[in-house]
Amino acid sequence: MDPAIADMPRGGPNASWLDRRLQTDVLEYTDRYDVPDEVKQTVIGALDRVGARTGQHEENARTALGVVSDIPNPRILELGAGHGMLSAKIVELHPTATVTISDLDPTSVATIAAGDLGAHSRVRTKVVDASAIDADDGSYDLVVFAAAFHHLAPSVAVRAIAEATRVGRRFLVIDIKRLSPPLLILTQLMIAPLATIAIAVRPSFRHVVHDGFISSLRVYSRSAFVALGKAADPHMRIEFLPTAVRFGPHMGSLVFSRPDTNSTPAGASRHEEHE
């Protein structure tokens, strides 16, 4: 691993002085092993509710299906699934897609497996480390990682990109957009009073507020994604997909693929490509 990549700021190789300071190595509750599992599940449950109320789950599912619109029976692996609602929407919207729902947290995987989604005939559940995926080359048409890629440190993120593009023809990352430093500071100042009220009404909400704030400091910029992709493979293709204006967190989407997989999505001419 190039030391410059391992130590790269979340704002990218050329991040400004202020941008480099608006990041943190503090872990979110969902990444920690020193907290009760119910704390993690509280955060995961809150993310599920937010995604359902803002339409984020369905939007992410439609983005994923758009990337494999040229494949009649797509095989999809979801990494870092958490609550699994992205995969639930995929099998709801597509009549023949098969989905492997995975997460590094065994409790989350067991919860999904024990529910209606885990019993679906086109769904498998599996504990998977995104940086060391136990699957053969080309096992999937699409690997998708939604709203959780920022949990990975740069060195781990590079391995995850390499692994996802090994086992899958295309690797779709959907994550919160990194805001410019002034906008990030302004946004947090605006949210702080509302968060304080929410915690006063429901103390357990502090875990959600904590993870939301940490996430905003750990998400990668566009230039950082390009650097990570090129570190995984100098010939990696990185395509930033158009994003719609929506209520809720501002999300961005991009697709990693290797040139030798013949994996350019339909409509790629509308995307910004880096080769």
CB atoms within 10 A of CB 187: 13
Q: Is 186 inside a domain boundary? A: no
Q: Is 190 inside a domain boundary? A: no
The structural domain count of the chain equals: 1
The bridge status of strand 272-274 relative to strand 251-257 is unpaired
Summarised one tens digit per residue, pLDDT across range 148-176 is 999 999 999 999 999 999 999 999 999 99
Helix residue ranges per DSSP H, 94-147: 106-114
The answer to pTM > 0.85 is: yes
Domain that holds residue 109: 3-18+47-179+219-274
Distance CA 268, CA 258 (A): 14
What is the reported pLDDT for 274?
66
Residue 245 pLDDT > 70, yes or no?
Answer: no
Give yes or no for a contact between 157 and 136, defined as CB atoms under 8 angstroms apart: no
What is the reported pLDDT for 89?
97
Distance CA 50, CA 52 (A): 5
Distance CA 86, CA 264 (A): 23
Summarised one tens digit per residue, pLDDT across range 202-221 is 887 899 999 999 999 999 99
Q: Is 35 inside a domain boundary? A: no
Summarised one tens digit per residue, pLDDT across range 67-100 is 999 999 999 999 999 989 999 999 999 999 999 9
Q: Is 25 inside a domain boundary? A: no
Q: Is 246 inside a domain boundary? A: yes
Q: Is 206 inside a domain boundary? A: no
Q: Is 26 inside a domain boundary? A: no
- CATH code for the domain of 269: 3.40.50.150
- What mean pLDDT comes out for the span 116-134? 97
| Cβ-proximal residues to 182 (8 Å cutoff; 6+ apart), any chain | none
Q: Is 70 inside a domain boundary? A: yes
